[in-house]
Amino acid sequence: MNLRTEPPPTAATPPRVSGQAWSVLFASTLAFLVCFVVWMMFGVLGVPLREELKLNSTEFGLLTSTPVLTGAIMRLPLGAWTDRYGGRIVMTILLVVCAVPVYIVSYASQLWQFLFIGLFLGCVGASFAVGTPYVARFFPPQKRGFAMGFFGAGTAGAAVNLFVTPTLQSLYGWRFVPRIYAVALLVTAAIFWFASARDPGAGKSNGSLLDSFKVLADPRVWRLCQYYSITFGGFTALSLWIPQYLKAEYGMSLVMASAFAAGFSLPGSVLRAVGGLLADKLGAHNVTWWGLWVAWICLFILSYPATDFVIHTIDGTATLHISMPLAGFVALTFVLGAVFAFGMASTFKYVADDFPSNMGVVTGIVGLAGGLGGFLLPILFGALLDLLKIRSSCFMLLYGVVWVSLILLYVSEVKRTPILGDRAV
């Protein structure tokens, strides 16, 4: 009689992912997607509100970015609470509580009211710091880049917002939109609770809550903050800014401008899973470095304003007109959104590899940096537009930020580590 025995597992054997892990991943991604739709809704609602409230460009930037501020600030405490109490509990409470200020938005009528309520509404943006460590703890290290990238694809909510919000607004008026989104948050909370599971990492951190923040003294954390402030911050800011840019630059309707703006938001969301896979295969450093170079090229081209050159020739004068056609704009922003997605995913591959026992706190502080970038950039876009009167000045600013980021990345990592190495930190 021959006995068959299974070969022992080896290092080359791919790790098995449980069905429960997939359920948690899908439920968390759905929750994050709905949160992102709500978080970004002022990017579309702000356009009719700008006309109704007679806002200048700086005030418009402040209106759209105010929710981003609290979404950034709350990422740090929510990340720490996720390490202590678990992602299932924290995410569910967040969805239920945030439904209240979202509904109240429908009763606002003055700028200060929108700004005040927006501070509370913005807490939905902190859901990223809850879901990222929660999802990662259900997957083996070799699969965490993909898992966190897949979860991060919930930023597709920015693209969903660009399709759904203007449609609802045109059919039922803008006050209907926050009411339906409040109901969506409550329904999502119920789905998430029943589809998720107890966080296996909850309560395992040693020491007090204050002790968990000691990891912030590690300089590697602040390098990751710098990477994420341009990839996620730039993505968030442009998702808010591009609809009104297209409306003003190309004379589109709000619905059409929002649809074209999805050419930037959609790849910047969906391709995060691809970025996570690339970070697993090629290393987080390689994806971050080369992604920023592609972004630098795209932003350089987008920065150039429409220009007329008068050339003096021997036969008189000749005029040369240079401008960005709509097709070129959509193509370049598509590529820009894709490389920003790769950079967002590679940043959190760094986090999972280097800080496995403090993922909640580190995710919180890195997410805070990205959120602050998303808050400040639209305000700066508006201020530059008011000052320079050049619409492409928003891309000029991002071009400069990416340039500085590449220099810092070179000094801190490339100069010390071969670019084709597996790791740089």
pLDDT (tens digit, 9 = 90+) per residue, 42-85? 878 888 888 888 888 888 888 888 888 888 888 888 888 888 88
pTM above 0.85, yes or no: no
Binning the chain into helix, strand and coil, the percentages to the nearest 5 are 75, 5, 20
State the architecture of 19-201+213-414 in CATH terms: Up-down Bundle (1.20)
Q: Where are the domains of the chain?
A: 19-201+213-414
CA separation for the pair 415, 410 (Å, rounded): 6
Burial class (CB in 10 A: 0-12, 13-18, 19+), 386: middle
* pLDDT over 70 at 5, yes or no: no
Q: What is the pLDDT of residue 275?
A: 79
Average pLDDT of every residue of the chain = 82
CB environment 141-159: b (16+ within 10 A), e (fewer): eebbbbbbbbbbbbbbbbb
Residue 8 exposed, middle or buried by CB count within 10 Å (0-12, 13-18, 19+): exposed
pLDDT digits (tens, 9 = 90+) for 318-358: 888 888 898 899 899 989 988 888 888 888 777 777 777 67
Residue 355 is predicted with a pLDDT of 77
pLDDT in tens, 73-117: 888 888 888 888 888 999 999 999 999 999 999 998 888 898 999
Q: Which residue has the higher pLDDT, 262 or 169?
A: 169
- The tens digit of pLDDT for each residue in 354-388 reads 777 677 778 778 878 887 888 888 889 988 998 88
Give the residue, 22 or 72, on which the prediction is more confident: 22
